[in-house]
């Protein structure tokens, strides 16, 4: 097994374990009190010291093999979502990302997937899940880019919100859901 294959297997095992643990914790924990269940508008703690810093440059192929970079979406709030077809938490958050792209596109949001995966597997899954945003693909390059964006663990999913001026405004390690996405959009986008 190559070094990259071992790394992908390790990331998949970590993602599966985290997803399973989260599922059982959610099943065993009592429901939160109503005031706890509401989304707080205050800023969550940053994942890394990159918030407020310029986003690193990146170049990866799209599903047609064309090299793309963040500058291909000028003037947009870019929500860069690192994911993979074999990542269970990634599959769980895709419907919320699709809905957010539809709901907030007119306010300047562009979601951009970056898949650590095979282009054919990504293409098939994007069609099945009804993606309405593009995804770039790669293998070792994606791991390197995630590290540049502060994800030194290599865990998926991993989401980075970049302002139109190219500055990182928010980082989330783990899945996002509709309430979290709505809170972020209300905080950052000109609604």
Classify 51 as helix, strand or coil.
coil
Q: What is the CA radius of gyration of the chain?
A: 16
For residue 150, what pLDDT band results from cuts at 50, 70 and 90? very high
Rounded Cα gap, residues 69 and 60, in angstroms:
7
For 61, the domain range is 3-36+51-188
Q: Is residue 44 part of a domain?
A: no
* Short-list 70, 109, 92, CA closest to 187: 109
**What's the pLDDT tens digit per position in 65-117?**
999 999 999 999 999 999 999 999 999 999 999 999 999 999 999 999 999 99
Q: How many domains does the chain have?
A: 1
Is the pLDDT higher at 16 or at 78?
A: 78
Whether residue 25 lies inside any domain: the answer is yes
Instruction: Indicate whether 41 belongs to any domain.
Output: no
CB 80 within 8 A of CB 159: yes
Let me know if residue 156 belongs to a domain.
yes
The alpha carbon of residue 123 and the mean position of all alpha carbons in its chain are separated, in whole angstroms, by 17
Would 141 be classed as within a structural domain? yes
CATH code of 138's domain = 3.40.30.10
Q: Is residue 66 part of a domain?
A: yes
Give me the mean pLDDT over the 37-43 stretch: 31
């Amino acid at each position: 097994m190559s070094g990259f294959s071992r790394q992908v297997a390790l990331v998949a095992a970590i993602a599966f374990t985290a997803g399973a643990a989260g599922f059982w914790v959610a099943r065993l924990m009592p429901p939160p009190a109503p005031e706890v269940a509401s989304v707080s508008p205050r800023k969550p703690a940053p994942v890394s010291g990159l918030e407020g810093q310029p986003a690193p440059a990146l170049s990866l192929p799209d599903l047609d093999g064309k090299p793309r970079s963040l500058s291909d979406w000028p003037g947009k709030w870019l929500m860069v979502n690192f994911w993979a077809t074999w990542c269970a938490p990634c599959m769980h958050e895709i419907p919320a990302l699709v809905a957010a792209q539809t709901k907030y596109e007119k306010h300047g949001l562009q979601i951009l997937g970056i898949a650590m995966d095979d282009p054919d597997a990504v293409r098939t899954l994007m069609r099945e899940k009804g993606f309405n945003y593009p995804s770039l693909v790669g293998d070792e390059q994606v791991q390197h880019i995630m590290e540049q964006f502060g994800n030194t663990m290599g865990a998926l999913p991993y989401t980075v919100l970049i302002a139109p001026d190219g500055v990182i405004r928010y980082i989330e390690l783990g899945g996002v859901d509709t309430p979290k996405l709505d809170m972020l959009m209300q905080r950052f986008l000109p609604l």
